Chain A
Amino acid sequence: MSLQSSRTPFDAAANRAVSAELKGLTVGQKKAIWAWVFLALPIVFYVVIRFYPTVSAFAISFTDWNILGEKSFVGIENYSRLVQDRVFWKVLINTLLYGVIGLPVSLVLSFVIAYYLDQVRFMHGFIRALYFVPFLTTAAAMGWVWRWFYQPSPVGVFNLILVDFGFSQQPFLRSTTQALPAVLAPAVWAGLGFQVVIFLAGLRAIPSTYYEAAKIDGAGAWRILREITLPLLKPTTVFLVVISTIGFLRIFDQVFNITNQGDGGPLNATKPIVLYIFETAFDSSDMGYATAQTVILFLLLLVITLLQLWYLRKK
């Protein structure tokens, strides 16, 4: 809106100045100079706001720093402490579990929903909206609702349903095995609509001539799905896999807002790495140790994303 008025005159003036000096350069050289002009401010931004803090975080990870006193260099001590920290291994496994369970569950669910929804015309938009609404909610707010749902009967909706159907009550958040899936469920719930819509887009983008040709060949639904739909959906799937993996491995809001006092319990059963980082940094003021954990998380995300991109693009 106000962009045009505030930016253009300034840039236009700058452009004239630049163009005046550019006479005598080749088109390619001129364009390269323009590119750097366009990138100047963003480069400053990324260097100051992203890379410099990242580098200083890396540096802090080699120090012992309680946030108030002086930093003292301790070499790789924080990293060797990580290796011996049972809680760290626990949160690392939890984090991977969030990814390993959350990713296939959410992708299968969203694909099935998208696949059938694509064939529905009556109230299509309305149903799609129903699935999309959770994506718009804040985890801080919805965490309270989910926490309530997991209560024992007579208050907890899930247990009420279980009991009504003659099953026994489940402890959910009070169990070391059920708590992690119970915390994951709202994360899947919140992201499902987004994935459904992306899959719908992917399905729409497949030209119907493929299907017609397959039909003439007398291919069954299952073959069409396997040999046409899924392969042609590949780019969509790659995109969702990468985006969702990063999301699940960085899970925090749901755990913080659903577990008792945000402690990632019971007995650390639901604590992901980001929550452990948060506690180490802000409850224990152990900044060196906390940043060492962020470095591990960074490397983990980097390696997993690169592996996925490489594997999925290649195949």
Chain B
Amino acid sequence: MTAEAISTPYTEASERLNRPLLRPSKVLMWSVLMVGGLLMVLPFIFMLSTSFKFNNEIYELSLLPKEPTLSNYLFLFEETQFFRWFVNSLLIATATTVSVLFFDSLVGYTLAKFKFRGQTFIFIAILSTLMIPTEMLVIPWFLLSKDLGWLDSYWGIMFPGMMTGFGTFLMKQFFESVPDDFLDAARIDGLNEFQIWWEVAMPLVKPALAALAIFVFLGNWTAFLWPLIVTNTESLYTIPVGFASFSGEFTTDWELIMTGATVATIPTLVIFILFQKFIIRGVMLTGLKG
């Protein structure tokens, strides 16, 4: 289906081999990609710029505020618990990510490197959880949390995400490419199976762990439905739930909503800017192994 879209006549795949210096077609290609990229971040810039405006200026579509102000941010941090929600999200996303990294790679490793009865069955069963919509599980989870006294707690927010089918699948793919010789060598050295996994196999899949960490962190950072249902106390809200409560109250105050949206987006952006190379490499590997 990609055929007709890429049949543009002036392109030559061979260019990736011997790159001539500046050719008009190259300059054009670069410019189009650059403009496209800038358009991609336009909504984001718009959000950022609105967050620095007073409410009488927001309908002018200028990207630079005429009268820049920090008052929206001050309001956000003084009048709401945004900071607290921020910390909650950070805590929950981090703890869940650590758990997923541990368990998904343990299960993925077991499925990739061990032979036992029921192996295929377990793999398929875990994989099939990818197709279960969260909406379907929310009510049973709630009843369960109530019985076990987990409502309105960090643990209550986290428990459904402590292991994931996607991560297990991904890690299994990566562990399959770890040569058996390495593991056998470790076995001869007298390491037990846990040590072999933890000390020999895990370091070999670090890039995959990085990729998985990003997906899990992002997923938990943006999770909405379950945290909303399981929390009762405002001080336990995560960023998306707090944002919803906030935007419900200030529906017409676009400058405040944009400020909240900015604060909700900044952390992932900072992480991305700091670890760009690592993250991109991880995502790329996911594509190759997935």
A and B touch in the complex (CB under 8 A): yes
Do B17 and A277 touch (CB < 8 A)?
A: no
Query: With A107-B2, A197-B287 given, is the CB distance from A131 to B40 under 8 Å?
Result: yes
A73 at interface, CB cutoff 8 A: no
What residues on A are CB-neighbors of B47 within 8 Å?
A: 141-142, 145
A271 → B minimal CB distance (Å): 14
Please, what's the 1-or-0 string for A206-228, where 1 marks a CB less than 8 Å from any CB in chain B? 00100110010000111011100
How many B residues touch the partner, as a band? 35 or more
**Highest count of chain B CB atoms <10 Å: which of A125, A130, A131, A139:** A130
A261 → B minimal CB distance (Å): 10
What residues on A are CB-neighbors of B6 within 8 Å?
A: 111-112, 115, 225
User: Within the complex, which residue of A138, A197, A294, A297 is in contact with B283, where a contact is CB–CB below 8 Å?
Assistant: A197
Please, what's the 1-or-0 string for B118-148, where 1 marks a CB less than 8 Å from any CB in chain A? 0100100110111111011101110010000
> Bound complex: CA of A8 vs CA of B196, how far in Å?
12
Do A32 and B44 touch (CB < 8 A)?
A: no
Chain B: which residue is nearest A130 at the CB level?
A: B37
**Highest count of chain B CB atoms <10 Å: which of A11, A144, A205, A287:** A144
User: Within the complex, which residue of A15, A126, A137, A194 is in contact with B265, where a contact is CB–CB below 8 Å?
Assistant: A137
B235 at interface, CB cutoff 8 A: no
**Highest count of chain B CB atoms <10 Å: which of A35, A49, A235, A274:** A35
B200 at interface, CB cutoff 8 A: no
Instruction: Name 28 interchain pairs, CB-CB below 8 A, sorted by A.
Output: A2-B98, A31-B116, A35-B116, A39-B107, A46-B129, A57-B137, A60-B139, A111-B5, A116-B11, A119-B15, A123-B34, A126-B37, A132-B272, A134-B41, A134-B43, A134-B44, A140-B243, A145-B46, A198-B284, A199-B287, A211-B16, A215-B14, A215-B17, A220-B12, A225-B13, A230-B2, A235-B288, A298-B131
10 A-B pairs with the lowest CB-CB distances in the bound complex, closest first: A130-B37, A141-B261, A201-B284, A198-B287, A53-B140, A294-B136, A32-B116, A239-B290, A35-B114, A136-B268
Q: What 18 new A-B contacts, CB under 8 Å, besides A54-B132, A133-B41?
A: A38-B194, A50-B132, A127-B33, A136-B269, A140-B222, A140-B243, A155-B59, A198-B284, A199-B287, A200-B284, A201-B287, A211-B17, A221-B14, A230-B2, A243-B290, A277-B135, A291-B139, A298-B131
Interface residues of A (CB under 8 A from B): 1-4, 7-8, 11-12, 15, 19, 28, 31-32, 34-36, 38-39, 41-43, 45-46, 48-54, 56-57, 60, 67, 104, 107-108, 111-113, 115-123, 125-134, 136-142, 144-146, 148-149, 155, 157, 160, 189, 192-194, 197-202, 204-205, 208, 211-212, 215, 220-222, 224-226, 229-230, 235-236, 239-240, 243, 246, 250, 253, 274, 277-278, 281, 287, 290-291, 294-295, 297-298, 301-302, 305
Interface residues of B (CB under 8 A from A): 1-3, 5-7, 11-17, 19, 26, 29-30, 32-34, 36-38, 40-41, 43-44, 46-47, 59, 61, 98, 102-103, 106-107, 109-110, 114-117, 119, 122, 125-126, 128-133, 135-137, 139-141, 144, 159-160, 162-163, 192-195, 197-198, 218, 221-222, 224, 239-240, 243-244, 247, 254, 257-258, 260-262, 264-265, 268-269, 272, 276-277, 280, 283-288, 290
